[in-house]
Chains A and B, each alone.
Chain A
Amino acid sequence: MTTTENKQAVPAPRAGQQAGTPLLQVRDLHVEFHTRDGVVKAVNGVNYSVSAGETLAVLGESGSGKSVTAQAIMGILDMPPAKIPRGEIRFRGEDMLTMSADARRRLRGAKIAMIFQDALSSLNPVLTVGYQLGEMFRVHQGLSKKAALAKAVDLMDRVKIPAARSRAGDYPHQFSGGMRQRIMIAMALALEPDLIIADEPTTALDVTVQAQVMDLLAELQAEYHMGLILITHDLGVVADVADKIAVMYAGRIVETAPVHELYRNPAHPYTRGLLDSIPRLDHKGQELYAIKGLPPNLLNVPQGCAFHPRCPKAQDLCRTDTPALHTLGEGRRSACHFWKETVNG
């Protein structure tokens, strides 16, 4: 990319240095689903930001709102039943929620791309992978079918799929799970986006393949200097690749921290519970810790702190007052009334 034509397409490294405007900023995002049983409040005021080259891991149980937030960023929620009553999603400073539908579509895939969990169901079963990869170039760059296919083969090479040329004509079901996820990654990378959202990219894979896919993703991220939002419930995956972590519970962020600080010294009882639930070799033979109770029903989120029914430290205040997200230090926040006591053990 030349430096003369860079009004919009700022080279990624420089964007990362502009500390003032992160690549993506989510502010006070609310998402609700209007169902027959009532309004499900899936996301209740989420704030986070990602800069170029940075990896944000979003951690949480099923139903914590981590995937819904990602889908809201991508603009692929089914509306209705979903609704975004409040909030901003700013990409390079521009609010995507107020953009025209067409402008938003042009960003999808080209500037912000997404990798889904289950590659088999996420790829179209009746189209060849070459076609599905090539489609990115045909639609966004207007390439011919033939040129697009050649680019698709290059992409498959790039994500290390053996014999890419001959395999471009195969269908998704003819690939192994790991290879299919590589194709998903290739599709997300096709137009060298600024931001990639990976929604549990390794959950459906074998452990050995998980590591390969994560390594590939980290390598490509570094190469293109992209922002990465990694959605996961796997604490092991997070520790290796993330720069910072946002822990979500019942549609809220309960703690954000740089990755190592969070592991060393969690500032929210929920995070502490998650970390204590990891099986450890030095605790062999002891009963595995589990957070008691179940995640809340989002139709009826508990009053006060949503975590209080499961929290070992809960007090009267927790049952009545929703805690604010207290700032603990540089990049560290906790939504616990008693964060001081929690941090100190």
Chain B
Amino acid sequence: MGRYVIRRLLQMVPVFIGTTFLIFVMVYALGDPVAAMFGDRTPDPATAAQIRESLHLDDPLWSQYLQYMAGIFRGDFGTAFNGTPVAELMGSAFPNTIKLTLVAFAIEVVVGVGLGIVAGMRRGRLADTGVLVFTLLVISIPTFVTGYLLQYFIGVKLAWAAPAVSSDVAFGELLLPGIVLAGVSLAYVARLTRTSIAENIRSDYVRTATAKGLPRRRVVGVHLLRNSLIPVITFLGTDIGALMGGAIVTERIFNIQGVGYQLYQGILRQNAPTVVGFVTILVVVFLAANLIVDLLYAVLDPRIRYA
């Protein structure tokens, strides 16, 4: 196991370098950050040159990348073009996004797995058909549509929840955005759980558990779920990264000053250090989530052994 972890960590190095280099190239080489800084106005050539000089923009790209990476490992993510250190932006943005992710994740697990269990155990009956139709609808409608619709009807018309999140970012306020963010993943989790349950409920070991005289609760809760949830947990693990990075639309709609919001602003203003910095962190989150899922997999299924 230890050797496996080390090997996996080493494998992460090229992935990390590859992804960050790609995003670095896309942001720095394919746009002109200095022009973006001045917006519609044309910068004074001398000033522009000075800025280029101070940001090392005239160095070869690989050299800029190396300098940037060296900075990251010292905890220096550079300075956004408005003068705020990127690390400071992260400090304010990540807690908000993590809160939102937690709320969405909780909803995804509870509702998604719950619906999946109900549908899988009553396959072919009304409850099952209902869940299938509902999840199909949720998957088909884009997040920005469900987001605005829920914001308008629940937030404005019915006023059950605040239509926008205040700067405190309290957990209660995050319920509505959490539902919107969780929506599509939740539908996938429900379908995955349903398939897995429906498949395992016919298995021989569930029949054995019944033949042992175990109460239904125990047959389902211990024997059926332990096996059926293995693929679901794998999906949930990788989805944490997707939720954190995928909150751009949701955070915009509900005015949450999180990672998605900062990224959106960064892209809009071609604020290169912000974009690269945030994406780098997200890459690390994705890689870590994937590793944890793979390790968890071996814990949940004893037939899998890593050497």
> Which residues in A have some Cβ–Cβ distance to B below 8 Å?
74, 76, 78, 105-110, 113-114, 116, 118, 121-127, 135-136, 139-140, 171, 173, 187
Contact = CB atoms under 8 A, between A and B. Distances in A.
A272 B223 CA distance: 44
Interface string B285-307: 00000000000000011110000
A76 B223 CA distance: 16
A76 B211 contact: yes
B296 to A, nearest CB: 13
Q: State which size class the interface on B falls in.
A: 20 to 34
Nearest to B206: A124
Contacts of B52: none
Given A105-B213, A139-B212, A140-B213, A122 B207 contact: yes
27 contacts: A76-B211, A105-B213, A105-B215, A108-B210, A108-B211, A108-B212, A110-B213, A114-B211, A116-B208, A116-B211, A122-B204, A124-B205, A124-B208, A124-B223, A125-B205, A126-B227, A126-B300, A126-B301, A126-B302, A127-B223, A135-B212, A135-B214, A136-B213, A139-B212, A139-B218, A140-B213, A173-B303
Among B203, B213, B218, B227: residue with most chain A CB under 10 A: B213
Nearest to B230: A126
Contacts of B301: 125-126
Query: What 10 pairs between A and B have smallest CB-CB spacing?
Result: A109-B213, A108-B213, A121-B204, A109-B212, A124-B205, A122-B204, A171-B302, A122-B208, A114-B211, A76-B210
Contacts of A139: 212-215, 218
A124 B210 contact: no
Nearest to B212: A109
Contacts of A106: 213
Given A108-B213, A171-B302, 20 more contacts: A76-B211, A105-B215, A108-B211, A109-B213, A110-B213, A116-B207, A121-B204, A122-B205, A122-B208, A123-B205, A123-B208, A124-B205, A124-B223, A125-B205, A126-B230, A126-B302, A126-B303, A135-B212, A139-B213, A187-B208
A127 B230 CA distance: 13
B226 interface: yes
A169 to B, nearest CB: 10
Nearest to B302: A171
A118 B204 contact: yes
Among A118, A127, A187: residue with most chain B CB under 10 A: A127
A182 to B, nearest CB: 15
B37 interface: no
B217 to A, nearest CB: 11
Nearest to B214: A139
Nearest to A133: B212
B212 A124 contact: no
Contacts of A108: 210-213
B220 to A, nearest CB: 13
B209 interface: yes
Contact of B213 (A107, A116, A124, A171): A107
B213 A121 contact: no
B182 to A, nearest CB: 28
Contacts of A140: 213
